Amino acid sequence: MALQADAYPAKSPLIAPELEEQLSQLLARLAGPVTMVCLVGEDEKSGEMAAFLNHVAGLSPMLSCKFLRPGEDSGVDGLLDASLLPATGIYAGEEFGRMVFHGVPGGKEITGFAAALLSAGGAAKPLDKPTMKDIGKIKKPVDIRVCVSLACHHCAQLVASAQRVAWENPLVTAHMIDANLYPDLVSKYQIQRVPLTVLNGDTTVPGGKTMAELTTLLTKF
């Protein structure tokens, strides 16, 4: 049985009044229901993320959140990757939007998180035709994992772009990973600089990318 949202605080200290106002204005644009599904553990960051999601969900009637323990739903465990908790997937209603956040999207990463909500809620800025055409050229399944630090502005832009590509192309899934929370990952990929993008688990690509650079990379991958 899913955890009840009221098992966690309704407000997060991460969302200050000024940010709450900015987010409220953005989220007022949501045209459809968005569900934030979060796999939570017993750890401190999972509790922090749950409070964060509760707070965000309270900013728009279009938003809701759902908390699960790993093992409760193997399908969700697989989609969101239960090995990196907390893991939050953004759903358009009941449909998985292929945009996932591991950790708490604080610092610069709030931008990508807000962008993902707008995409799933049918309220993202339209992309120009050439960009949509490029995204459509990605013909193979790609799992994009952008390893970030929360203070990195290059990372935030790349995460937002990757998740927009994922939203627009059903072959693509994009994960934001706050690498600081996952030392095994840092060790595995020897991450000394961010962003570091991992494609399908084995190809690493360092550095920030524009949307055009990213789509070029993914179409040639």
Distance CA 99, CA 173 (A): 6
The one segment of 33-41, 64-72, 166-174, 183-191 that binds other proteins by CB under 8 A: 183-191
Taking CB under 8 A as the rule, does residue 16 contact other proteins? yes
Query: Which residues in 184-203 contact other proteins (CB under 8 A)?
Result: 186, 191-195
Taking CB under 8 A as the rule, does residue 152 contact other proteins? yes
Distance CA 197, CA 19 (A): 28
The one segment of 30-38, 68-76, 136-144, 204-212 that binds other proteins by CB under 8 A: 204-212
Smallest gap, in angstroms, from Cβ of residue 157 to other proteins?
A: 7
Asked whether the CA dihedral 28, 171, 136, 213 is positive or negative, the reply is: positive
Among the listed residues 37, 90, 156, 162, the single contact to other proteins using CB under 8 A: 156
Distance CA 129, CA 6 (A): 43
Torsion of CA 71, 73, 79, 85, to 10 degrees: -40
Which residues, 6+ apart, have CB-to-CB distance to 123 below 8 Å? 29, 30, 31
Per-residue binding letters, 69-108, with other proteins (x by CB under 8 A): ----------------------------------xxxxxx
Among the listed residues 125, 137, 139, 188, the single contact to other proteins using CB under 8 A: 125
Tell whether omega for the bond before 61 is within 30 degrees of 0, i.e. cis: no
Among the listed residues 8, 15, 30, 167, the single contact to other proteins using CB under 8 A: 15
Which residues, 6+ apart, have CB-to-CB distance to 11 below 8 Å? 51, 54, 55, 58
Applying CB under 8 A, which residues contact other proteins?
A: 14-16, 19, 22-23, 26, 45, 48, 103-111, 114-115, 118, 124-125, 149-157, 160, 179-181, 183, 186, 191-195, 206-209
